[in-house]
RNA sequence: GCGCUCAUCGUCUAGCCUGGUCCAGGACACCGCCCUUUCACGGCGGCGACAGGGGUUCGAAUCCCCUUGGGCGUACCA
């Protein structure tokens, strides 16, 4: 047990995306490795854009990835009283002030400053205004330091410093009385006792402002670790334009959570030349020291490769259960008489995703085999009838196991004088409907004696 | 524009801190060969990078500076 306290603090304005998931994963890994506490906090102060559906989607995605939290979820919208209290404290101590500049005025000033080539900072118009209490609309700004330097030692990036002149007086409370992100994040991180804040490096620029607020409020400043961004193939920040960015979309596409976790962690973190990591490996091996400093490009191909790996090496029983779900989605909820774990064994080396596996498994569980037209034309011909009949005869009386089925084929080969290919491929088409399928003996075994024979008979009937 | 930051194969990266063992290693992708009852799996091999320029040094991917390029920020979003 350690006193490490970390958190994942998504804003519920959409599904859990690749980048957020990685941040959550890093936090989770650190907490588990060091026996610390992992807190989940929902940053829903933007009441306009936050939705319960998003919260549910995020929770579901974390659950899918196996990222359990120890405390929370906490909702910021339920903590407004606390924030109000802190704003008042700052106001009372003269560390914050009311600003009556309108949003329009501010926009105008900002544009003017830009046009002049100046920094688009708030000019401090209301900073030293005498207190007045008319009812004109106002926001509350934090009175930041005008001189000196604010710096911190980032656990990933090293020391980062900002001239305080670069920091203007940011708004901590909106006209409507709600607090803003940069303010509440400090209060919550402090009140929740965080010792380390691991987040995306798009927050680096916010950090000095936040540090000043910690200090103004008398809170200890936690450590920070800013994780590099994830980019798309064009090196632009990852977005929907780059394809699926929702974690759950990958589940729907047939990805396994362990593949996603493994991929995500390797994007930015490494452990020598190793590529494959289970969650337990990661909890043991993950360290911030081995997280890179530069942004990385999301590479779907490698994710696919990892998925392929985990499918190939996965437990057939478990994969079989998942396969059932994907088959249901494909419209084949009934798998009566077919052992899906056995199906999995025949398809593990041939599927990159569970969806692909399900598509390939359909012929096993379907009532009516769907024939590939050209395959049927080519292999289900009149001359096959006697061959199929001979095979049926053998299958009816052979011992139904790998050796027995193989012997059955051998006998047919001898009887007909044909080479394996001449018997195997037509049989494959008769049983599966197409020319590409698992080994023919495996298919027969998984299908079962009865069903295999029936399909051969159906093929004979089909040929006419 | 300004601020912060990053920079090794197409991509993820090892190496960089503690210069020489690196004419730079691994992985994905790609290409070729082999294996093979179809489709795959697999095995073997190949292609492919220290952004550029200055320094420092006997020696630099490794240290310093500049340039260039990328990312992020610059909201009454988070």
What pLDDT, on a 0 to 100 scale, did the predictor assign at position A1? 52
Confidence (pLDDT) at A47 = 83
The two three-digit tokens of residue A126, written as one number: 């209301």
Query: Full-prediction pTM beyond 0.90?
Result: yes
Q: Write the CB contacts of A306 (distance below 8 Å, at least 6 apart in sequence).
A: A259, A262, A263, A275, A276
Using the CA of A269, which nucleotide's C1' is the nearest one? Answer: B13
Q: Nucleotides on strand B with an atom closer than 7 A to protein CB?
A: 1-8, 10-14, 25-29, 37-42, 70-78
Instruction: Estimate in Å the CA A283 to C1' B49 gap, whole number.
Output: 32
pLDDT reported for residue A133: 66
Which of A224-255 are b and which e, b meaning 16 or more Cβ less than 10 Å from the residue's Cβ? bbbbbbbbbeeeeebeeebeebbbbebbeebb
* Distance, Å, A345 CA → B73 C1': 51
Pairing of strands A171-173, A139-142: antiparallel
Q: What's the length of chain A?
A: 464
Q: How far apart are CA A11 and CA A49, in angstroms?
A: 9
For residue A125, the model assigns a pLDDT of 83
Nucleotide nearest A349, from its CA to each C1': B41
ipTM (interface pTM): 0.95
Which nucleotide is at minimal CA–C1' distance from A182?
A: B78
Angle ∠(A216,A166,A200) on CA atoms, nearest 5? 75
DSSP string covering A242-284: GS--BHHHHHHTT--HHHHHHHHHHTTB--TT-----HHHHHH
The low-confidence residues of chain A, meaning pLDDT below 70, are: 1, 133
d(CA A337, CA A454): 14
Contact A423, A416 (CB under 8 A): yes
């Amino acid at each position: 047990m350690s006193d490490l306290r970390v958190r994942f603090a998504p804003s519920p304005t959409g599904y859990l995306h690749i980048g957020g998931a990685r941040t959550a994963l890093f936090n989770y890994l650190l907490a588990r490795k060091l026996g610390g506490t992992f807190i989940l906090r929902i940053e829903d102060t933007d009441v306009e854009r936050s939705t319960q559906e998003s919260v549910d989607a995020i929770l579901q995605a974390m659950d899918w990835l196996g990222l359990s939290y120890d405390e929370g979820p906490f909702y910021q919208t339920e903590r407004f009283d606390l924030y109000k209290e802190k704003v008042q404290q700052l106001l009372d101590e003269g560390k914050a002030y009311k600003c009556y500049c309108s949003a329009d005025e501010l926009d105008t000033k900002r544009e003017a400053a830009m046009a002049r080539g100046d920094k688009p900072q708030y000019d401090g118009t209301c900073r030293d205004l005498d207190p007045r209490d008319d009812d004109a609309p106002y926001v509350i700004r934090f009175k930041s330091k005008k001189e000196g330097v604010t710096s911190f030692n980032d656990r990933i990036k090293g020391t980062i410093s900002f001239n305080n002149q670069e920091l203007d007086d940011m708004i901590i409370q909106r006209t409507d009385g709600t607090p803003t992100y940069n303010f509440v994040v400090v209060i919550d991180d402090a009140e929740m006792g965080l010792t380390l804040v691991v987040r995306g490096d798009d927050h680096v620029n916010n950090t000095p402002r936040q540090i000043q607020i910690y200090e103004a409020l008398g809170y200890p400043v936690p450590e920070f670790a800013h994780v590099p961004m994830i980019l798309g193939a064009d090196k632009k920040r990852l977005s929907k334009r780059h394809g699926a960015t929702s974690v759950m979309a990958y589940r729907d596409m047939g990805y396994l959570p362990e593949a996603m976790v493994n991929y995500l962690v390797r994007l930015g973190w490494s452990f020598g030349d190793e590529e494959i990591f289970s969650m337990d490996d990661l909890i043991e091996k993950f360290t911030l020291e081995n997280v890179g400093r530069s942004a990385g490009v999301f590479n779907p191909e490698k994710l696919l490769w990892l998925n392929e790996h985990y499918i190939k090496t996965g437990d057939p029983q478990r994969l079989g259960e998942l396969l059932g779900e994907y088959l249901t989605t494909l419209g084949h909820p009934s798998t009566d008489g077919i052992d899906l774990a056995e199906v999995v064994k025949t398809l593990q080396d041939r599927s990159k995703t569970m969806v692909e596996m399900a598509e390939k498994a359909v012929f096993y569980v379907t009532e009516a085999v769907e024939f590939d037209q050209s395959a049927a034309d080519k292999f289900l011909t009149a001359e096959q009838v006697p061959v199929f009949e001979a095979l049926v005869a053998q299958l009816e009386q052979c011992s139904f196991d790998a050796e027995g089925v193989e012997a059955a084929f051998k006998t047919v080969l001898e009887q007909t004088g044909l080479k394996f290919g001449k018997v195997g491929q037509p049989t494959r088409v008769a049983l599966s409907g197409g020319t590409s399928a698992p080994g023919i003996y495996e298919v027969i075994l998984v299908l079962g004696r009865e069903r295999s024979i029936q399909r051969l008979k159906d093929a004979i009937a089909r040929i006419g």
